[in-house]
Structure 1
């Protein structure tokens, strides 16, 4: 309960109480918090005090107000530097989140006029295409589409691929994907297929990242075409 006799203003005490409720899971990430009236009654403060505390928490990024729907706890964004080669698993870990992956497609294709030169192949040579749905915590965040030179990476057909492919390549096959090539970042909108897999709305803003990753010898490892839910991820340069 808040204490009006403390030197600390009531709205700041309420801010701290709401933050504590977020951190201990009482107010869940992505969930709606109680209304101003409910908070006023729960903490025995005026609605003016509640409004000021909520406004500060919105400004600090803890909460988001949605017109006509209420106030919601923000889901923390996962951050990574765009020019560094860091696996999704490592990015989640550095941001305090667990991660896992589900393989949704795995097939052998022919290199087309776009993929062939990027993988240093001839058109028509075999390419291993692997699509994975990648989770941060218990929610899908990324739809990963990677294209590997088949002759060199055929072994990935038999791997589970629930965790980091980069760690697997380093630890089991002595292939170190440590050199990023050209990376293009664009904004895209989720189509019906992407929205279904990512469990989001059609038209949701996504980051589309096209990248080429090379190993320690300068040989291409994969071309990546990744779709990432935009409001849960941030890039720094």
Structure 2
């Protein structure tokens, strides 16, 4: 915690720490276990214990206090980034039609970006907007590169995600495509967050389906 060991650096063994700080190995073991449980350290089988990478902390429940990825990164002392993967017009699925209040056979704008913290990929962001009011997004590649989506929506459209009517979180395993975008191994555990966002007037705005690297993210209530 004092910056003596850098991220991904291996710390000394229990016996070395015991001698270094003149405490028992049991005390050292308990301290290491506590730091592992809090996410500061990670044990790698057959290799030792290493300093973990910093984690982004974000709330699960988002009622009138929605925090975007960029804001969450900066609150944790990290610099957010975004690379646009796709901006497409595609047919709306049934839940998108229902939530966004669209006529049958409508289209949506699919915006996909890789979000980074201090240059490290953290999240594959998949957002779905009603086509007609947001068709300008199709030409917003540059505007949405290394930018806050929430801030962009507010400046361009005068609307910002303010709350969710539903937000679910589950554990999934990375597909080969997701793994390639997020620099993880296929099959690695990830968070999958599915959220339905309302604007400040309580009107449906966007559906977010995000795949998040589990080792780099912490959710709290």
2: CA distance, partners of 1:158 / 1:114: 26
Q: Of the candidates 95, 110, 114, which is equivalent to residue 133 of structure 1?
A: 114
2: CA distance, partners of 1:113 / 1:167: 28
Q: Residues 71-121 of structure 1: CA distance to partner in whole angstroms, max 9, x if unpaired? A: 211122211211221100001111111111001111100112232112111
Q: Residues 157-210 of structure 1: CA distance to partner in whole angstroms, max 9, x if unpaired? A: 222212111111223331122121211111111011111111001111111111
Ranked by relative contact order (alpha carbons within 8 Å, sequence separation 6 or more), the top structure is: 2
Bigger radius of gyration:
1
1: CA distance, partners of 2:138 / 2:30: 51
2: CA distance, partners of 1:54 / 1:139: 30
> TM-score if structure 1 supplies the norm length?
0.80
Q: What residue in structure 2 maps to residue 189 of structure 1?
A: 173
2: CA distance, partners of 1:91 / 1:72: 25
Tell me how many residue pairs correspond in the alignment.
211
1: CA distance, partners of 2:213 / 2:48: 22
Q: Of the candidates 145, 160, 182, which is equivalent to residue 198 of structure 1?
A: 182
User: Do residues 151 (structure 1) and 151 (structure 2) align?
Assistant: no
Q: What residue in structure 2 maps to residue 170 of structure 1?
A: 154
> TM-score if structure 2 supplies the norm length?
0.85
1: CA distance, partners of 2:218 / 2:20: 36
2: CA distance, partners of 1:235 / 1:55: 24
User: Do residues 33 (structure 1) and 10 (structure 2) align?
Assistant: yes
**Aligned residues of 1:58 and 1:65 also touching (Cα < 8 A):** no
2: CA distance, partners of 1:188 / 1:226: 11
Cα distance, 1:47–1:21 mapped onto 2, change above 3 Å:
closer
The alpha carbon displacement at 1:48 in A equals 8.1
Q: Of the candidates 58, 61, 65, which is equivalent to residue 43 of structure 2?
A: 65
Q: What residue in structure 2 maps to residue 110 of structure 1?
A: 91
Cα distance, 1:48–1:223 mapped onto 2, change above 3 Å:
same
Report the secondary structure of 2:102's partner residue.
coil
